[in-house]
Every structure is written in structure tokens, then in C-alpha cells.
Amino acid sequence: MYLSCKRVVVSIVVIPLLGLVGCQKGGDSSQPAAAVAGPNAEKSDGGTTPAAGPKSDQDPQHPVFEIETTLGKCTIQLDGEKAPLTVDNFRNYVAKHHYEQTIFHQVLNGSVKAVLGGGFLADLSPKKALTPIRNEAHNGLKNRRGSISMFRRADDCDSATSQFIINLADNDKLDFKGRTPEQYGYCVFGQVTQGIEVLDQIVQRPVHDTNNFDHVPVETVAIKSIQQVK
């Protein structure tokens, strides 16, 4: 199962039969090509490792970040062992203060339960993204409740940039199942360790559709900051 865009502009995503949305309606034709080899560059059995969990304090491979939103704070711990490229990519965006004042631009509360953020400002204008990264969805981590994964275009496995998905249910439809774009899934690279109730508030909020976006929260929820705390 996969997410797909509706029109051509920047990057929202709608999953046929799933309703999962992540970019603007349409593909992101402005994004550069993936910087690393595609999904066929390395083999994987898909794995069954559970979603990333907390590790010891001051572990450089499992950094902890605090996300402060207009509704409150939550903490995530990343898994640099299972998703090294993705964790480095997230760190780069944090270091550039990319996420400040971006919003949770789509809320899904149906067969997929999740919030999406990291790419758009309150007026739904896009923030400039870095070069896309290789998809590490084959790492064995699953899109379980509380996990954070990368959004990508439906037609390109290796198109993730800054946008992320926080799963608020066990969304197994988003997991790696095969090597094709339709089956490759969405790379999990960390887990919410505190404050998931803040995200549960977001997913319960009313939404509406605009010309270019689906499932936009009626009342904006913004990211004030993301900073590494461990």
C-alpha cells in the first residue's frame, strides 16, 4: 500500500484505499533526484523488528529530540543503527532550524491514523527541502503507534526530504513489503517516548480540504521548535 499525490505542485500525499496524505496534491516536480542508489541497491528480508524504542542516555546512535508544538511538547528517540541515513537527514534539518513554524498540515483519522508535518508553513507555502535520501524502510522497523517515519512520493521510493509521519495507531499498511514503489513502504526511524497525548489531541481535531491539500486541521497546530536534548 502506498501514498500518492493528486495534482502537480509541491508534495501532499493521498494513499489510495488508505486515505493517507502527506504533501500537496500532486508530485513535487521541483525536488532533485535522489542522491543515493535506489532501493535495489541492497537486499533486505523486510524484517520483523518492532518499532524503535528508548536506548541508554547519551547514546550518539539514539539521539533524543524534543518537539515543542503550540499544543505542548513531545519527545522522540531516533534509531541511527536501523536508519542511519534518515537520522542524519533529520539532524540536518533540525540544525538548519527548518522545522520552526512549520505546521502539521495533514491529519488522518481513518484506516490510517497519523499526523504529517515538517514541510509547510501556516499559509501552506512549502519550505525549501534538501536533496532526497534513500529509503531505508527495509530496516525492519514498523509503523506502529508512536513511531515516526518519513513521507515520500508514491511513485519514487527515494524521494523523502523533510516531511515526516507520526503514527497514532499500528499502521501496518505503511510497512515495507517488497521492492516495488507500491510495496516499499515508509521508513521508520524513531519512536515517541513522551508526550504522545499531545499528538493524540491533533489527530482528533476537525479537518477540511482545500484546493491543494486534503485533511488540513481547521485550527493550525505549529511546531515552535525541535531541539536535541540527549
Classify residue 164: in a domain, yes or no: yes
Over residues 103-136, the pLDDT tens digits come to 999 999 999 999 999 999 999 999 999 999 999 9
Provide, rounded to the nearest whole percent, the portion of the chain with pLDDT above 90. 73
Classify residue 28: in a domain, yes or no: no
Question: Residue 28: what pLDDT?
Answer: 41
- Domain of 100? 49-228
Average pLDDT over residues 41-60: 50
Classify residue 39: in a domain, yes or no: no
Classify residue 29: in a domain, yes or no: no
Dist CA 157 CA 81 (whole Å):
20
Classify residue 206: in a domain, yes or no: yes
Classify residue 20: in a domain, yes or no: no
The CATH number of the domain holding residue 145 is 2.40.100.10
Q: Coil, strand or helix: which one is 116?
A: strand
Give per-residue burial for 137-167: e unless 16+ CB within 10 Å, then b. Answer: bbbbbbbbbbbbbbbbbbebbbbbbbbbbbb
Classify residue 35: in a domain, yes or no: no
Average pLDDT over residues 56-84: 93
Classify residue 24: in a domain, yes or no: no
Question: Residue 29: what pLDDT?
Answer: 33
Q: Number of helices and strands (H, E) in the chain?
A: 2, 10
Dist CA 167 CA 160 (whole Å):
17
- Mean pLDDT, the chain, as a whole number? 82
For residue 24, what is its C-alpha cell? 500537496
Report the predicted TM-score, pTM, of the whole model to 2 decimal places. 0.79
What is the number of structural domains in the chain?
1
